[in-house]
């Protein structure tokens, strides 16, 4: 058993900088590289892609990242854990194996974790009494059943550990929880078992701190002037120990900042009850942690307490919930704000003349530059230019498209100083509704499969 395991977190979301994982692998010591590509809306996007192409439905950025780093990963013996499989882990597995073969890398073990995707099982589950009611408002899932886009269970860290135990150097999952990407290697390395609540809570907390990538190493930090070299900001490295203590750090010589405040800022991210943070492997008491700076860019957490996991998994369901679009124009001064307000009134008035009306809750008007981000707190005084953002949402796709036709005419038939329109008319796009639910754990069976290049 190693007394220290180094787990880098190189991807906070699908679209994060490819330099995060590339530099983690190349610029310092590392045992594991964790990568998170999924969010609730991402799953529905991937499901649509898979519907059009059975070989799609995973994070292609993951394969592009491996194209740049696979020789280094193999050469250094770094093991990779990612939820890049989305709704099609098998296709992602095939793409990674194909890449390895093209690069002449033989004997690479790539594993996948399946079982989180329950969309096809929804009718069976409902028929057998698993209501999957909306956790926020109690609605029955049958009210949106015909509009479901995706349905995935949040799988925990023990499935990751199982895949690692079968020898996979690259582990690809679907809807693995973000913390499981860090807790899984800790379980594997240190032999933690179900019931080791404090240690599992520590793994959960370590993963939670790292899950947004550079957001715990100086990104999005209030005291941003204290952060050096944003260009080369270092992504987080968790230095884990068998007893559940860990240090949050980054590679030496990289930019960014790790101190008690940057870690606590991320610790409070997406927080409900801090004494009972729920995950599939345990509950974690975030208030129990002792957090101390133990060196430059080194923050140690200890004393973390945990408790039993719930007997249910959280289920992330997305569904089609209408249509929306937005468009924008730049309005220059003088009197930019007044002219922008007039432009909005003109658009709504012309639509009404043509029999196309929207309720107030279906309309969006934002005048960016006049204090919209801090409305009621800060208001700009006669800014020289503003950006007018107009948007609508409703269940009628044709009405939404009709709205998009009335923005560009303002350039020649509105007040002076209107410019900045580009990109064509705004078109209707789907609104993806989010439906959180619970499902008994005995209804979900994960499967692990490992193949070799």
For residue 270, is pLDDT > 90?
no
Percent of the chain with pLDDT over 90: 89
Considering only CA atoms, which of 108, 55, 93, 89 is closest in space to residue 173? Answer: 89
Indicate the pairing of strand 385-394 with strand 363-368. antiparallel
Half-sphere exposure of 178 (CA within 13 A, CB side): 23
pLDDT digits (tens, 9 = 90+) for 103-127: 999 999 999 999 999 999 999 999 9
Scored b (16 or more CB within 10 A) or e, 206-238 reads: bbbbbbbbbbbbbbebeeeeebeeeeebbbbbb
- How far is it, in rounded angstroms, from Cα 36 to Cα 197? 24
Q: What is the DSSP letter of 3?
A: S
User: Kind of pairing, strands 32-35 and 79-82?
Assistant: parallel
pLDDT, one tens digit per residue, over 10-20 is 999 988 999 99
Name the 3-class secondary structure at 202.
helix
Domain range 318-435, CATH class:
alpha beta
Q: What is the pTM of this model?
A: 0.93
Question: What pLDDT, on a 0 to 100 scale, did the predictor assign at position 39?
Answer: 81
- Arithmetic mean of pLDDT, 432-437: 93
Over residues 360-415, the pLDDT tens digits come to: 999 999 999 998 888 888 777 889 999 999 999 999 999 999 999 999 999 999 99
Instruction: Report pLDDT for 205.
Output: 98
Residue-wise pLDDT for 178-229, tens only, equals 999 999 999 999 999 999 999 999 999 999 999 999 999 999 999 999 999 9
Q: Which residues have a Cβ under 8 Å from the Cβ of 145 and sit 6 or more positions away?
A: 122, 123, 126
Every domain of the chain and the residues it spans: 5-116+154-310, 318-435
pLDDT at 316: 93
pLDDT of residue 145: 96
pLDDT tens-place string over residues 286-314: 999 999 999 999 999 999 999 999 999 99
Q: Is 266 a residue whose pLDDT tops 80?
A: yes
Give the pairing type, strands 5-11 and 32-35.
parallel
């Amino acid at each position: 058993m190693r007394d220290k395991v180094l787990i880098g977190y190189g991807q906070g979301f699908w679209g994060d900088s490819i330099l995060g994982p590339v530099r983690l692998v190349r610029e310092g010591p590392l045992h594991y590289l964790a990568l998170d590509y999924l969010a609730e809306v991402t799953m529905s996007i991937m499901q649509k892609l898979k519907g059009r192409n059975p070989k799609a439905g995973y994070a292609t950025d993951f394969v592009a990242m491996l194209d740049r780093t696979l020789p280094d990963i193999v050469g250094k013996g770094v093991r990779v854990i990612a939820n890049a499989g989305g709704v099609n882990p098998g296709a992602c597995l095939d793409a990674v194996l194909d890449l390895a073969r093209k690069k002449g890398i033989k004997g690479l073990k790539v594993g996948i974790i399946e079982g989180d995707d329950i969309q096809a099982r929804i009718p069976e589950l409902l028929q057998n009494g698993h209501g999957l009611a909306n956790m926020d408002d109690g609605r029955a899932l049958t009210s949106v059943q015909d509009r479901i886009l995706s349905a995935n269970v949040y799988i925990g860290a023990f499935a990751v550990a199982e895949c690692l135990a079968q020898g996979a150097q690259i582990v690809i999952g679907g809807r693995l929880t973000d913390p499981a990407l860090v807790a899984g290697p800790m379980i594997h390395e240190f032999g933690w078992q179900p019931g080791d609540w404090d240690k599992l809570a520590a793994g959960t907390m370590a993963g939670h701190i790292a899950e947004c990538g550079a957001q715990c190493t100086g990104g999005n930090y209030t005291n941003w002037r204290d952060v050096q070299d944003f260009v080369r900001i270092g992504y987080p490295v968790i230095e884990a120990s068998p007893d559940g203590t860990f240090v949050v750090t980054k590679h030496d010589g990289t930019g960014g900042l790790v101190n008690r405040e940057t870690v606590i800022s991320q610790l409070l991210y997406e927080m409900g009850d801090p004494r009972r943070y729920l995950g599939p492997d345990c509950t974690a008491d975030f208030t129990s942690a002792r957090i101390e700076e133990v060196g430059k860019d080194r923050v140690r957490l200890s004393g973390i307490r945990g408790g039993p996991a719930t007997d249910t998994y959280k289920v992330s369901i997305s569904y089609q919930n209408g249509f929306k679009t937005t468009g924008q124009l730049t309005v220059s001064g003088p009197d930019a704000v007044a002219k922008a307000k007039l432009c909005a009134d003109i658009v709504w008035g012309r639509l009404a003349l043509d029999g196309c009306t929207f309720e107030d809750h279906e309309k969006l008007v934002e005048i960016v530059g006049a204090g919209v981000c801090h409305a009621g707190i800060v208001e700009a005084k006669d800014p020289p230019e503003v950006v007018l953002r107009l948007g609508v949402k409703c269940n009628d796709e044709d009405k939404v498209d009709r709205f998009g036709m009335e923005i560009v005419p303002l350039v020649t038939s509105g007040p002076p100083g209107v410019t900045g329109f580009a990109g064509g008319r705004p078109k209707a796009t789907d609104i993806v509704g989010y439906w959180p639910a619970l499902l008994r754990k005995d209804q979900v069976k994960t499967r692990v499969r490992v193949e070799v290049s």
